[in-house]
Structures are given as structure tokens and as C-alpha cells.
Amino acid sequence: MGKRRAASQAATPSSRDAKIARAADRTRDWADLEDGPAGLVAERVLADDVAGYIFFHAVCRSWRRCCDDPRTRGGGVLEDPRLRPRQWIMLVGEKEKLDAFGAPHRSLRQFLNVSTGKCIQVEVPELLDHGVIPSTAADGLLFLHCKATGAVRLLNPLTRQKAELPPVSTRPTSLYTSCNAGLADDRTALLNLSSVVMAFAKPGDERWSVLENNTRRLMPNVFFAGCFYGISDHAIMTVDMTRGDEQPRVVVAAKLGLRFRGLGMDETAHLVDNGGKLMLVHRTTRDSTSYKRMYQVYKVDLKAGRVTTRGIVGLSLGGHAVFVAKWHALSVSPRVFPSINANTIYLGLSLTERVGLEQIGAYRIRDGTTESFSYDTQNASPHPWSVADCLAAYVSACL
């Protein structure tokens, strides 16, 4: 009797084993997710970040079946703004200079997501035979230039989508020293070719449409909320692209209410997307008679058409930090990068304060205190680099 009871107990699963078995029966194979739900998930992922969509598409064959290949989705590099790597920046090496005639460049690149802190490696083979036209308003896209043919190409480095733009026939010296690229709107590329000449083209156009803007070069500039904005002596300008078949024109978006003595190494002004708000950072290191370091923050009120300090409490950057160089600025959140201080302006590697005797690397705008960084323009910096070093190098490269 005892043996029969033991055998019966051995053949009957325990209650714990039964629960595990029932749970296993209820578990779905995610690869078998139907096209409808999987497609909805893919769209939600794409709305958050294009890299997540690329990873989702690469997981398995069934998921690839329910969402379009990111290389062909939308029909072109400018067709679907959600596919742009707007939160991703391509990091540069120490003293690396990416310019229109600088090929070959290193093709295996690191990309950093400034919204999440995630870093990935991406192979960009085009950099082996293309230069990079500096850009501060390209929504994460790369403007590439082929020295041999003069061809200009627009590349999404994450999706691998490409677009052919008209070749540039300007003098090489102008392209090398003065050119800056960006987007005029969601469908149109622009080049700042000189202090007064801008050129516009869409992918597939045969030639650039040239506009003499009769203002100083709109630098620095930014692509914000689907529009191009640049700084002139007296105003923040934008490009009116709503004129149908007529040529675009440069118009005032907001009056400054302040004048710049002359933008250069001792004075810079920067437009920056600061957590979804357009702001202006004005930096001066000397006035007409003496050295006087000053950093001021302004809110750009596009609805009112003016630049103001109203709504900025205690010279706040809203808890963000802003990295600035001569032409470029980038806003990041210390919540993403805890080693970076809030409401602080970090200086690019080539600015006067950074390479001078003071070697100032950061300025806290609320109390005026500074933080020194040792940086030698002639010798290599200590490694490994900090996040602040990487971001300072990025804005200094003017990509």
C-alpha cells in the first residue's frame, strides 16, 4: 500500500509545477504577434525614436514583415520627419576636424542620444571619400561633399537613406571657409555660401536657387519646430518658404532689442532648442575698453516677435545645461547626464576662456561661479574623456 501511494504521488504533478505549466501555456511567442498589433507597436516606437524603430525592425522576420524597412520608408530622406535622428549627434575625436574637403574620415562612428544618454556605433562608409559640410540646423542629418565631383549628398546615418542634391560650383575656398548647411523647412536644404548668399534646393533638383539675403550671414542658426532660424545684427531671421513657386525670402522672426558689436571669438550669440523652447545665449568676454565676461540668457518669443528675459526666473535654463562654441550650441539635461550641472553654460574647446590663462570650462549663470578645465591646444587631453569633454568637442567641430 505504501509503495502504491508513493508511486501515485510521484506521478501527480505538484501544485507549483501545475501553475508553471499553466503559465507557460498562456505565454505568447512575441514573434507570432499579428501584423496589426505589431505594426501599432512599431509606429509607437518610431514616434519616440528612429533608432528604436530600426532595432524593432531587425529583431525577427515576422516583425520585419509588419513594418517598413527604414531605408525605404517614406520614399526619401526628407519625406518622413520622424525618421530623422534629431536627438542623435555624431561624436568627434580630439582635435578631429570634419570639413567639406577633409576626406577620408574615420568611418566607424559613435552616435550619442542626448535625450536618453544611449551611445551606439554606426558604420558610415561615405566618410571615407566624402567631406562633411558643417551644419547646425540639419535635424541630425549629414551634408556630405564629394571633392572629386562637387556632388552634395544628404545622408541619414541611422536609416541609411540618401538624397542627391545639386553639385556646388562655388569656389572651393568659399565652400571650405564659409559654407554652412541646414534645412530651410522639412523638404528643402539650404547652404550659406557667403556672408550674403544663400542657396536652396530639394532632393532631385538640377541646380541650387540662389538668394542674396542682403543681411550678414545668418550664423549661428538652428532648425527648430520645422523652420530655420538664424541671427543677424538686429534680429532673429527665418526663411519664408510659403511663397509657392516664388523664390524664398529672409524675413524677421523676432526683434532682438540688443545689438552685437561683432560676433567672433570675444562675442558669440547662440540660438538653442532648450527642452522645446527657443532660447538665445549671448556671450561676451570683453567690452570696448576692458575685459568683462558676461553670459546672458533670453527667451525667443516667436508669437510676440521679440526676444525677452520675461519668463526666465533667475537667469534659468530650465534646469538644462548649454554647450556653446563659436557657431554651435547644444542643450542637454542633467537628468540624462548626472555629471553635468544644471543652469550652466559649458564652453567649446576653442573659445577664448577655455584656451586662455583662466581655462574656464563652465559658467553657472545663477551665481556667476566658474569651473576650470585643463585643456592644452597643443597636447592631448587626459583620457578617458568625460561627457562634458565629448559634448564640448562636438559643438566645437560645428557639425
How far are the Cα atoms of 32, 98, 109, 295, 377 from residue 93, in angstroms, in the given order? Answer: 44, 10, 10, 28, 14
Q: Please tell me which residue, 349 or 377, carries the higher pLDDT value.
A: 349
Provide the pLDDT for residue 91: 94
Closest to 331 measured CA to CA, from 349, 314, 343: 343
pLDDT average, residue stretch 243-249: 80
% of the chain at pLDDT higher than 90: 37
Q: What is the largest CA-CA distance in the chain?
A: 109
Residues in a beta bridge with 344? 321, 364
For the record, the C-alpha cell of 276 comes out as 522645446
φ/ψ bin of 314: left (φ > 0), alpha (ψ from -120 to 50), beta (otherwise): left
Per-residue pLDDT tens for 226-240? 999 998 878 899 999
Q: Are 170 and 152 in contact (CB under 8 A)?
A: no
How far are the Cα atoms of 72, 183, 201, 226 from residue 188, in angstroms, in the given order? Answer: 19, 6, 6, 11
Per-residue pLDDT tens for 310-319? 656 556 899 9
Which of 11-25, 263-277, 363-377 has the highest average model confidence (pLDDT)? 263-277
Identify the band that residue 53 occupies on the pLDDT scale cut at 50, 70 and 90.
confident
pLDDT average, residue stretch 342-355: 87
Q: Please tell me which residue, 397 or 144, carries the higher pLDDT value.
A: 144
Task: Give the Cα-Cα-Cα angle 56, 58, 62 (nearest 5 degrees).
Answer: 85
Q: Please tell me which residue, 214 or 351, carries the higher pLDDT value.
A: 351
Provide the pLDDT for residue 29: 54
Identify the band that residue 377 occupies on the pLDDT scale cut at 50, 70 and 90.
low
% of the chain at pLDDT higher than 70: 78
pLDDT at 334 > cutoff 90: yes
Per-residue pLDDT tens for 146-162? 888 888 999 999 999 99
pLDDT at 173 > cutoff 50: no
What residue type is assigned to position 217 of the chain? R
Identify the band that residue 69 occupies on the pLDDT scale cut at 50, 70 and 90.
confident
Contacts of 307 (CB under 8 A, 6+ apart): 236, 254, 255, 256, 257, 258, 280, 298, 299, 300, 301
Residues in a beta bridge with 151? none
Q: Are 399 and 329 in contact (CB under 8 A)?
A: no
Our measurement of the distance from residue 35's CA atom to the centroid of its chain's CA atoms, rounded to an integer in Å, reads 33
Identify the band that residue 278 occupies on the pLDDT scale cut at 50, 70 and 90.
very high
pLDDT at 167 > cutoff 50: yes
Handedness of CA 350, 356, 362, 368 (dihedral sign): negative
What residue type is assigned to position 68 of the chain? D
For the record, the C-alpha cell of 49 comes out as 525614436
pLDDT at 371 > cutoff 90: no
Provide the pLDDT for residue 65: 74
Provide the pLDDT for residue 9: 47
Our measurement of the distance from residue 334's CA atom to the centroid of its chain's CA atoms, rounded to an integer in Å, reads 17
